[in-house]
A and B are shown apart, each in its own frame.
Chain A
Amino acid sequence: MSDESRAEKFLELFNKSKEFTEELLRENERLRAQLGEIERANQDYSARYTEIEEQNNNLASLYVASYQLHSTLDFREVIHIVQEILLNLVGAKSFSILLLDENTKELRAVACDGEDAFPGIETLSTRLGEGVIGTVASRAESFYLNDGTVSLERPLAAVPLKIKDQVIGVIAIYKLLVQKHAFTAVDYELFSLLAAHAATAIFSAKLYAQSERKLNTIQSFLDLLTTTST
Chain B
Amino acid sequence: MMNVDNARFLIVEDSPTMRQLISFSLKRFRNAKIIEAVDGLDALRKLTGGDKIDLILTDINMPVMDGLKLVSMVRHNASLKNIPIIIITTEGAEEDRERGLALGANAYIAKPIQSSHLIKTISELLAV
Contacts and interface: CB of A to CB of B under 8 A. Distances in A.
Contacts of B90: 87-88, 91, 93, 177
Given A57-B114, A64-B17, 9 more contacts: A60-B25, A68-B20, A81-B17, A84-B17, A87-B90, A88-B18, A89-B21, A90-B112, A91-B90
Interface in A49-85: 53-54, 56-57, 60-61, 63-65, 67-68, 81, 84-85
Nearest to A49: B116
A32 interface: no
Interface string B9-29: 000000111101100110000
A84 B15 CA distance: 7
A7 interface: no
B112 A60 contact: no
Interface of A: 53-54, 56-57, 60-61, 63-65, 67-68, 81, 84-85, 87-91, 93, 177-180
Contacts, number: 59
B31 interface: no
A91 to B, nearest CB: 5
A67 B20 CA distance: 9
